[in-house]
Amino acid sequence: MEESVSKGASSLRQGGFKSSLSGRSTPRNFPTFRRLISSWTPRKEARNGTGGIQWFRSNRSVYLLLLISFWAYLGFYFQSWWAHGHSKEEFLGFSGDPRNKLVDAELNTRRDLLADDSLVAVRNGTNKPQVYSDRKFDVILAKGNNISSRKKRSQRARFSLHKMHGKPKATINMENGDAEGQEQAFLLKNSTYGSLVGPFGSLEDRVLEWSPEKRFGTCDRKGEFARLVRYRRLVLVFHELSMTGAPISMMELATELLSCGATISAVVLSKKGGLMSELARRRIKVIEDRADLSFKTAMKADLVIAGSAVCASWIDQYIAHFPAGGSQIAWWIMENRREYFDRSKHVLHRVKMLMFLSELQSKQWLNWCQEENIKLRSQPSIVPLAVNDELAFVAGIPCSLNTPLASPEKMIEKRRLLRDAVRKELGLKDSDMLVMSLSSINAGKGQLLLLESVNLMIDQDPLGTGSQVKKTLDIRLDESALARKHHLRGLVKKSCNADASCTNLVFDSRRKQEQAVKILIGSVGSKSNKVPYVEAILRFLSQHPKLSESVLWTPATTRVSSLYAAADVYVMNSQGVGETFGRVTVEAMAFGVPVLGTDGGGTKEIVEQNVSGLFHPMGRAGNWVLAENLRYMLKNPTARKQMGKDGRKKVGKQYLKRHMYGRLVEVLTRGMRRQVASSRSLIGF
168 lies in some domain: no
Q: Based on the fold, state whether residues 301 and 449 are members of the same structural domain.
A: no
514-573 pLDDT per residue, tens: 789 999 998 888 888 898 999 899 999 999 989 999 999 999 888 999 999 999 999 999
Tell me the sheet residues that pair with 519. 435, 551
Q: What is the pLDDT of residue 553?
A: 93
% pLDDT > 90, the chain: 50
Q: Please give the Cα distance from 427 to 129 (Å, whole number).
A: 8
371-380 pLDDT per residue, tens: 999 999 999 9
Residue 135: pLDDT over 50: no
Q: Based on the fold, state whether residues 453 and 317 are members of the same structural domain.
A: no
Q: What is the pLDDT of residue 81?
A: 52
360 lies in some domain: yes
CA atoms within 13 A on the CB side of 260: 24
Segment 622-633 shows an average pLDDT of: 96
541 lies in some domain: yes
Q: Based on the fold, state whether residues 440 and 317 are members of the same structural domain.
A: no
Q: Based on the fold, state whether residues 377 and 234 are members of the same structural domain.
A: yes
Q: Based on the fold, state whether residues 200 and 240 are members of the same structural domain.
A: no
Contact (Cβ atoms closer than 8 angstroms) between residue 570 and residue 584: yes
Contact (Cβ atoms closer than 8 angstroms) between residue 587 and residue 387: yes
Q: What is the pLDDT of residue 490?
A: 52
Please identify, among 338, 366, 386, the residue that sits at the C-terminal boundary of a domain: 386
Least confident piece of the model among 217-221, 398-402, 448-452: 217-221
Residue 451: pLDDT band (50, 70, 90) is very high
Residue 260: pLDDT over 70: yes
Contact (Cβ atoms closer than 8 angstroms) between residue 587 and residue 605: no
350 lies in some domain: yes
Segment 504-513 shows an average pLDDT of: 40
Q: Based on the fold, state whether residues 284 and 334 are members of the same structural domain.
A: yes
5 lies in some domain: no
Q: Please give the Cα distance from 615 to 46 (Å, whole number).
A: 91
**Mean pLDDT highest for which of 183-187, 266-270, 528-532?**
266-270
271 lies in some domain: yes
Residue 652: pLDDT over 80: yes
Q: Based on the fold, state whether residues 450 and 372 are members of the same structural domain.
A: no
| Helix (H), strand (E) counts: the chain | 30, 18
553 lies in some domain: yes
346-361 pLDDT per residue, tens: 999 999 999 999 999 9
Average pLDDT, the chain: 74
**Mean pLDDT highest for which of 63-77, 122-136, 323-337?**
323-337
670-683 pLDDT per residue, tens: 767 544 443 444 33
- Cis omega (within 30 of 0) on the bond before 11? no
Q: Based on the fold, state whether residues 285 and 419 are members of the same structural domain.
A: no
Q: Based on the fold, state whether residues 560 and 616 are members of the same structural domain.
A: yes
Instruction: For residue 112, count other CB atoms closer than 10 A to its CB.
Output: 29
DSSP H or E stretch at residue 197: none
Q: Based on the fold, state whether residues 201 and 238 are members of the same structural domain.
A: no
In degrees and rounded to multiples of 5, residue 616 shows phi and psi of: -145, 155
Identify which has the larger pLDDT, 274 or 366. 366
DSSP state letters, 510-562: T------EEEEEEEET-TT--HHHHHHHHHHHHH-HHHHTTEEEEE--S--HH
Q: What is the CATH number of the domain that holds 620?
A: 3.40.50.2000
Q: Please give the Cα distance from 313 to 299 (Å, whole number).
A: 17
The count of structural domains within the chain is 2
pTM of the model: 0.70
Please identify, among 366, 386, 406, the residue that sits at the C-terminal boundary of a domain: 386
* Amino acid, res. 684: G
Contact (Cβ atoms closer than 8 angstroms) between residue 352 and residue 378: yes
Residue 667: pLDDT band (50, 70, 90) is confident
Q: Based on the fold, state whether residues 279 and 423 are members of the same structural domain.
A: no
In degrees and rounded to multiples of 5, residue 160 shows phi and psi of: -135, 150
215 lies in some domain: no
Q: What is the pLDDT of residue 214?
A: 65
In degrees and rounded to multiples of 5, residue 234 shows phi and psi of: -130, 145
Q: What is the pLDDT of residue 51?
A: 55
% pLDDT > 70, the chain: 63
Segment 389-407 shows an average pLDDT of: 93
Segment 468-473 shows an average pLDDT of: 38
Q: What is the pLDDT of residue 175?
A: 35
In degrees and rounded to multiples of 5, residue 648 shows phi and psi of: -65, -40
Q: What is the pLDDT of residue 221?
A: 86
Q: How far apart are the first and last CA of the chain?
A: 74
Q: What is the pLDDT of residue 513?
A: 54
Q: Based on the fold, state whether residues 310 and 437 are members of the same structural domain.
A: no
79-111 pLDDT per residue, tens: 555 544 443 333 223 333 333 333 333 333 333
Q: Structural domain of residue 296, as residue ranges?
A: 230-386
Instruction: For residue 41, count other CB atoms closer than 10 A to its CB.
Output: 9
CA atoms within 13 A on the CB side of 498: 4
Q: Please give the Cα distance from 569 to 627 (Å, whole number).
A: 13
Alpha-carbon distances of 349 from 58, 268, 321, rounded to whole Å: 75, 23, 17
